[in-house]
Structure formats: structure tokens, C-alpha cells
Structure 1
Amino acid sequence: MKKIGVLTSGGDAPGMNAAVRAVVRNAMYQGIEVFGVYNGYEGLIQGNIKKMELGSVGDIIQRGGTILYSARSPEFKTDEGQNKAIENMKSFGIEGLIVIGGDGSFQGASKLTEKGFPCIGVPGTIDNDIPGTDYTIGFDTALNTVVTAVDKIRDTATSHERTYVVEVMGRDAGDLALWAGLANGAESIIIPERAEGFESVINKLKRGQARGKKHSIIILAEGVGSGVEYGKKIEEETQMDTRVTVLGHIQRGGSPSGYDRVLASRLGAKAVDLLIEGNGGRMTGIENNVVVDHDLLDILNKKHYVNMNMYELSNQLSI
């Protein structure tokens, strides 16, 4: 293999740039040319492909977002769009593609592999919802962003004796809410995988109020529902002064943490090695601090599970 491509797709995640850097530099170290695909799968269809040099990825390891940009591509979901993408890559002499993104991005990579064009997936999403890896690129940074924000919210909650509902991202997965809730000492954590009953949350708030507790933090995963609506219901039921903070896309930005930079570097470099070895349709991951790879189709057919032991621990510590 002499030429490979790399793209980022789906929601941006801190550390994607570090992964792109690892792909480019490991490939060039092994004598392989790398082409950056701009604007994700839409860029493949439009032929927005440029050769990358060592300097193309200089000073990006610390930057959030993605220098290759990301975009939705309804056309790529069609056979015609996929075939056009493959022809465009072949016109540049590209023989394999590395896709950095989440499960939606991996579905596209799997389709290309099925058509005979080898792809490797690198998990990049703040949701941490990809099976086959303990952590996805961007999760640690997003977690620290949430923890810092909630620390500041608790200062205000304490000062004004209020209950705060903080809605965090994560799509249909509760990892971000669970980890942040445990790290912030939240009184209740509401996640899709095991949404604590509303009555239970209210009872916990009332017990705290009875013993003189004057403020509370509730972490709500977006997959459960609206934080604003949840806050209204709490205030109506308890008459407690309740406020809602929806952290939103602040969670997806910012300079990646040291952990995310190292993780991205390891997984990106491994993706190049897999292509060189002639493997397609694989995904890199980290398990027990060891870099691994799995069949991409198997990963897409598996379900992600949160650590329920952590959920039970949060309940024990928030009595």
C-alpha cells in the first residue's frame, strides 16, 4: 500500500486532530503518502481531497475540533454516492481509508469495505458509546469540561440554596452523565440505561431538605429527555427553587486532555499499521490500556453498556 486517505466524520471530538496527526506521521514514517479528505464523506463524493505533508499536521495535537472538518452526506448513504466516493479515491491512487468518528461514521466505512475498499475505523466521539473500546477519543476531555462546569454551578447552588438540573450530552448513552455525576458528587444521576424514577429523585430531595440540606445537583443525560422540563416538574412537586443548565456544545470543544492526546496517537498509528498489514473492516480500540482491534461489522452489531457498578456506587455515595 502506497497511498491512504484519512477523514473525520460525525460530531467533532477533542483529540481528532491528534489522531489525524498520528495517521499522517506514522504513514509517512513508513513511506506511505497520505491524503486528507475534507468535510467527511461529502468530501469523498465532491473530490475534496488533498495530499498532506509533515507540516500539514504541525501544531495541531493541542487543538480541539478537526482540521479536516465534518459534514453530513445524505448522498453517501446511497450506492451511487458510495461508488462515486470510491472512484474519486482511486483517481488519487488511494488504496485504503482511515475513518475517525462514531458508529454512524463506521457504518459508512463498513459499506466501503464491503465494496472492496479497505477501511479502518478509529473511535472518536465524546459519547463513549462504541463497543470494543474502554474509551473513545474525546470522552475524557468532555468529562473534564462537564466536571469543571458543574463545580462552578455548585458554588452558585450553594450560595442561593437552589436545586440545579444539569443536562449533559451523550446521545442515547449515559457514560458522560454517569462519570460526571460520580465525579461531581451529584445527588441524582439520570441515564437512559437505568433512569431513576422521578418519585425516587423527589424523595431523595425531600430527605435532604428534611435534614437541612439546602442545595442539590442532578445530572441528566440528554437521552432521557429535556432538562428544562425535568426542572419544571421538580419545582412543581417540591416548591424548591430550581434552575436548569443545558451545557450543550461546550462539551465538544476545547483543547484535548493529555489522556485523549495519547489515546488518539495510539489508535491513529495502529490504524495505519492495520492497513499496511492488509486488514480492512477493522476498528482500533483500547482495552485494559492495551491497543486492540475488532471486526468493524461485529462492533456495529453489538450494544454498548455502561458500568452499572459505578451507577450503584453513585447511589450509595449520594444518600
Structure 2
Amino acid sequence: MSESTKLIGQMIAERYEVKSFINEGGMQEVYLAEDQLLRRFVALKVPKNKHALKRFRRSAVVSARVNHSNVAKTLGYIEAHDRSFFIEEHIEGKDLGFLLKHNFRSFDPLWVCKIVHRLAKGIAASHHVGVVHRDLKPSNIMSVDGPFVSEIKITDFGIAKMVEDELGEAIEGGDESLTASQTAIGALPYMAPELIHDIKNADKPADIWSLGALTYELVTGAKPFGTGLKAVPAILAAKVPSYSQPQSRKTQFSSAFKDIMNIVHSCIVASPSARPSADEVVSMCESLCYPIETREFGRISKFDNPS
């Protein structure tokens, strides 16, 4: 039996029955479990290594402070079978990283307006209670209903504090450490310069940079600074690469594309103090014009207007 399936079928703390394996990251494994007391499904997160284990309890306390519709709810923390378990709201959907890889090369700008507005609200709510994510990236953002994007939920607010150890070791250790660190590999394209210089003292503006970097990827399909250690010099230079909207999409989306890129440029600024606060990004998003209806997917058989 593989490591990722050995918990399936077990009853944790005489309450949570593990139903299936969902996913794993650099810090944790995630399982679907049924809460036998409240008769609901939850996400059960289990630390994978010593760095995760030593901060897992504190992460539950930290993330429980955040209460917002665009942040996955922390439901509890337990220790059983010599392991720690973090219980979080189960979200029916896919993360944005999955959707970028398997469903869309990029999202159209009107869709990105909706996503970024909700992300900014969730980040602002966390900052209001003193919680900094530090590991915002597409794989930590869940789209409810998958490609339909009916709602957006930020996950792993609590886990993010634990990322400091792994990221710090990876950056200091160079290529070998980076290769061994799934967390660092995934986080680097979205890391603010101050996270590279001194990750333990990075504060709220680091989340704003990450919001700008992942927004750039959502709307263009490309990471703004590349991947791996090659991204570090570009991040430190803090220059957003130019990107022209494809001619085929300009007619319908030109205004929204311009508005989104303005937000990106305001967030990706070298000096943390020069970036807007999360509340200010929310205010910028309130001036955006975008549809909120659930999208439908289908096959178009006839185009009356070629443009």
C-alpha cells in the first residue's frame, strides 16, 4: 500500500472516516474524510515531514482567525495515531493551477477580474487579523465548481507560516535544495523580493506581490519571471515583462485586459511600502466591470459574426 493511500478506510479520533486521497504538496497530504458526528465531508490535512509537524498545531490556531467566504474555513485540529491532523472545509472544485494546466492556457480578462476581486477580499480579511499567507500561488486557490468558477477560496493560510523553513533552506542551499523542495519550486515564481532576502521578516506586502504575479499568469498564461532559480534575478529586478493581448481577443476584452494589467503593475513593485494594501486592491477591483453569472460550456456550430 502506498504512503498516499494507507490512511484510506481508517477512523481518525473516532470521528473522521478517511474516504479517499485528494492530493499532496511539499508540506502535506490531503484526504477526503467524512465527519461522522456532523455528517459532512471535510478535507483532512496531514504533515509530511518534521518541518511541517513542528508548526502544524500553531498553523491551525493562525488560520482559524480568518473568517471570510473567500478563504477555506479551518474546522479543527486533532492529534491521533501519533500524527497531527488539520481539518479544513472541503471544497468541491479544482485549484487554479490544475485549471491552467488541464482546462485553459489562460483565463479571459473578464474572468480574471472576478477571480482577482475575490482573492483581494480574502487576502484583506486575513491581513485584518494579522495573518500573512506568504505562499500564494495558483495551486493554493480553489475554484468552486472547477472550470465554472462559481466562487474562489484561498487555502492553506495556516500552513503558509510553516513554509518558511523549507523555502529558507532551499534558497540558501541552491540548486540541490531547490530541486528537493516541492514547496520552493512551486513558490518561487510568485515570491516577492523580500521573501528571497529575508523570508522570516516578510510581511503583508509580500502577499500583494504574489497576487500580482499570479494574476499575470492567469491572464497571460505565462509566469512573469520564469521558474526555478533562474527566476530569482528577474524577481529582484522587479520588472514586469511586457505582454500584448492577442489580436483575436482585443475587441471583446481590451478594456478589462488593460484594467487587470494596471493592477498587476501596481502590485509588482520592488519596494514593499510602494505596493497597495489589500484593501486598496479591493477598491481598485470595485471599479472593474465584469459579469458574475455562472458560465456555460458548449460547442458553437455557427459563427454569424467572424470577429
**What band does the TM-score fall into relative to the shorter chain?**
under 0.3
- Compare relative contact order (CA 8 Å, sep 6+) and give the higher one, 1 or 2: 1
| TM-score normalised by the chain length of structure 1 | 0.24
Greater gyration radius: 1
State the TM-score, normalized to the length of structure 2: 0.24
